[in-house]
Amino acid sequence: MRRILSVLMENEPGALSRVVGLFSQRGYNIESLNVAPTTDNTLSRLTLTTTGDDLKIEQITKHLNKIVDVVKVVDLTEGAHVERDMLLVKVRAEGAQRDEVKRTTDIFRGQIIDVGPATYIVQLTGPIDKLDSFLSALGEAEILEVVRSGVAGMARGEKVLTI
Amino acid sequence: MEQLSGGDMIVRALEDEGVEYIFGYPGGAALHIYDSIFKANSVPHILVRHEQAATHAADGYARATGKAGVVLVTSGPGATNAITGIATAYMDSIPMVVISGQVQSHLIGEDAFQETDMVGISRPIVKHSFLVQRTEDIPSIIKKAFYIATTGRPGPVVVDVPKDLTHPEHKFNYEYPESVSMRSYQPSTKGHSGQVRKAARLLLNAKRPVIYAGGGVIQGEGSELLTRLARKLNYPVTNTLMGLGVYPATDRQFLGMLGMHGFYEANMAMHHSDVILAVGARFDDRVTNTVSKFCPGAKIIHIDVDPASIAKIVPVDVPIVGPVTTVLKDLDAQIDQQQSSSERTLPDAGAIADWWSQIDNWRAAHGLWHGRRYGDSDFIMPQDAITALYEATDGEAYVTSDVGQHQMFAAQYYKFDHPRRWINSGGLGTMGFGLPAAMGIKLAMPDAEVACVTGEGSIQMNIQELSTCAQYDVSVKIVNLRNNYLGMVKQWQDMQYDSRYSESHYASSLPDFVKLAEAYGHVGMEIKDKADLEPAMREAFAMKDKLVFLDIFVEPHEHVYPMQVAPNGAMKDMWLSKTERT
Ligand SMILES: Cc1ncc(C[n+]2csc(CCOP(=O)(O)OP(=O)(O)O)c2C)c(N)n1
Ligand SMILES: [Mg+2]
């Protein structure tokens, strides 16, 4: 089962490598990883998606908590939550494709953020499956390059992850 | 406020931390620190002959005293040489602070002379590590290093210090913090009371209980409490290889060690139990044998300070996270309360008596200390050598060991009645551990008897420390069970590879250990004759201020038994001799 773990950790050099190292050392896989400072610049927030049964996720959570730099760990998938991934895709946009790509982008409420003589960069934000279906909806258009931010997520409602 | 250089700060912080010894080896990146050591002349430094030995010596010191061991090494090869010892300490949860010199800050990342990414290379084998970035941070980092190393589940902490930050002319305010608090590190201080209640109920209603105690009980100073609890309930106790000494070996309720080379009665009792109280133990694969066949009828209570140890290998019915002392006290109180409020007597005396008679039958059948369970030969038997050691030291010595058959014989035949006396590398299984560890212990406790049980293979992995022992008058006794083979390897080759001894012997290349010991200024004794064993052992221990190397020629073809059947065996499946199995 796919899980989204949110981790608050000290914004210290080496902290990220400890988290990533844990996954490789213990044979857990990371599907996506997103990390950036928070409003409190002593803390970073990391969102990580992985797969595993309850037992495995429990072990991962315990081991994450053991890392001295880690302040808090939550499994977002345990409750109601929102998740967003951001996609940038560079597509060939020539001739008929130029309009076609624009139309598909509009349908998915994406934005064209760079217009070249023969290319577009489209930006799209949403849950993973929306981004996946956008990519397949591009259909005939030639995809030149794709980059995704990795999932970022938050619990819905009153629940907050702070210290 | 006092102004100190980074080098001086390190030495002063160690002094303020109450450090008794630094085990180390100098080199370029650490030279400012070494100059500070010279000038301060406060904390004694032990110059080893190889950085691996520094870590093992600090480790032995820590295991025997309960305090953190301290290591100082230079960058590059100094740091990498320390790695095996750090991993050894990590696997057995031993508190240790390793300070490593690093190349100057501006050179980091440039493949400078003797540069190694110490924080990176040690990352999977440390509890935590620091790369110092500002001299001003040194006092608080050292304070944190000791705090992290010694609290919760202990472990090694690396502090990597770039040379420029220790420069004698760059001085900053020095104040050693009184205390530490870290929002990201808060070890548990108390077990969950609801779980403790459940555990008490389960324990009191057990019919075939076993208490399974590991190294965590020693680390957590819980031996006395555990012993009291076991005696109160009249429940049998088995200790892991790391837990020997938790429960007194000579007590009637002790079943011996469990696991791969565990006692028949201990493994049988575990397999047939209905309730297991696991304390500070981690269900290592050297204990459980095939996990899916592990103790099929048992409900498990697991007490550990590390939540990640619980339910890692086997599912647990009652997990309790907390320090062993507070949890055992709470459990004890709960047991009292449930006993007094119950209408029946708990535990069921009849059931427990039946369980004991079953255990006594197992003991009578194959118990290691209930009859002679090994053969004889013209050679001295290794088991007899350990018994002679036990007797010559009245069972009171600190015994370190290396890794191999000799280690298992020592664990089986030296009856440890106190915690912290049996010092071995259980988790990593590091050959070369024994002699430097013994050195660390003897320095910490100069009046104690310290013996290193070793093999001719293992001792050669850190034999250079005989020189360190000469320099600091470290009068340990080395008990070399010389079987002329990498005996444990040979045993597996006998059992699984039709006795094809691939690279498990040394032809006739072994040194004359007596002469070797003498060359370092020590005493060497060669013991071949059975009749000489006991007198020689006594003679050696009578030489209080001498290091004595006892080179004991033992039966080369002896195996360690019991040995659990693998693969696919349960705990109860054991070889009891070369021909007999359960
Ligand atoms: C550093 C290291 N290398 C290899 C091993 C694998 N190993 C385990 S026991 C053993 C043989 C040890 O021989 P010796 O010290 O003579 O002890 P004996 O088994 O003969 O008593 C070996 C090679 C190890 N544990 N540690
Ligand atoms: Mg040998």
A141 pLDDT more than 90: no
B155 in contact with ligand 1, CB cutoff 6 A: no
Distance from residue B453's CA to the centre of ligand 1 (Å): 13
Could you tell me which residues come within 8 angstroms of residue B532 by beta carbon, excluding any fewer than 6 positions away? Answer: none
Q: How far apart are CA B150 and CA B162, in angstroms?
A: 25
The dihedrals phi and psi of A119, each to the nearest 5 degrees, come to -140, 155
Residues ≥6 apart with Cβ < 8 Å to B529 = B380
The predicted structure's pLDDT at residue A139: 81
Distance from CA of B321 to the nearest CA of A (A): 12
Beta carbons of B473 and B545 less than 8 angstroms apart = yes
**Residues in B 294-313 with any Cβ partner in A closer than 8 A:** 306-308, 311-312
CA B575 – ligand 1 centroid, Å:
21
Residues of chain B with pLDDT under 50: none
B228-245 pLDDT, tens digit per residue, is: 999 999 999 999 999 999
Do the strands B422-423 and B398-401 form a parallel or antiparallel pair, or are they unpaired?
parallel
B128 close to A (CB below 8 A): yes
Ligand 1 pocket, mutate which of B409, B430, B453, B458 (most atoms under 8 A from CB) = B458
Tell me what pLDDT residue A140 has: 81
pLDDT score recorded for residue A163: 85
Residue B412 Ramachandran class (φ > 0 left, ψ -120 to 50 alpha, else beta): alpha
Q: Is B403 in the pocket of ligand 1 (CB under 6 A)?
A: yes
Chain A residue with Cα closest to B307: A62
Name every residue whose Cβ is closer than 8 Å to that of residue B460 and which is 6 or more positions away in sequence: none
Comparing alpha-carbon positions, the chain A residue that sits nearest to B306 is: A66
Is the pLDDT confidence value at A1 over 90? no
pLDDT in tens, A63-83: 999 999 999 999 999 999 999
Q: Are B556 and B528 spatial neighbours (Cβ–Cβ below 8 Å)?
A: no
Residue B194's pLDDT is 97
Q: What is the pLDDT, as a whole number, of residue B1?
A: 86
> Sign of torsion, CA B190 B152 B255 B395?
negative
Note the pLDDT of residue B218: 98
Is residue A13 pLDDT above 90, yes or no? no
Within 7-26 of A, beta carbons closer than 8 Å to B belong to 9-10, 13-14, 17-18, 21, 25
**Burial call B345-384: b when 16+ CB within 10 Å, e when fewer:** ebbeeeebeebeeebeebbeebbbbbeebbeeeebbbbbb
Cβ B148–A66 below 8 Å, yes or no?
Answer: no
Ligand 1 atom 4: residue of nearest CA: B431
Question: How many residues belong to chain B?
Answer: 582
- The alpha-helical segments, DSSP class H, found in B214-279 are 215-219, 223-233, 264-272
B119 touches A: beta carbon within 8 Å: yes
Give how far Cα B20 sits from Cα of B40, B88, B313, Å. Answer: 14, 21, 38
Spatial distance between the Cα atoms of B110 and B139, rounded to a whole number of angstroms: 28
From the list A13, A21, A70, which residue is nearest B184 (CB)?
A70
Spacing, Cα B478 to ligand 1 middle (Å) = 17
Give ipTM to 2 decimals.
0.92
Question: What DSSP element (H or E) covers B334?
Answer: helix B324-341
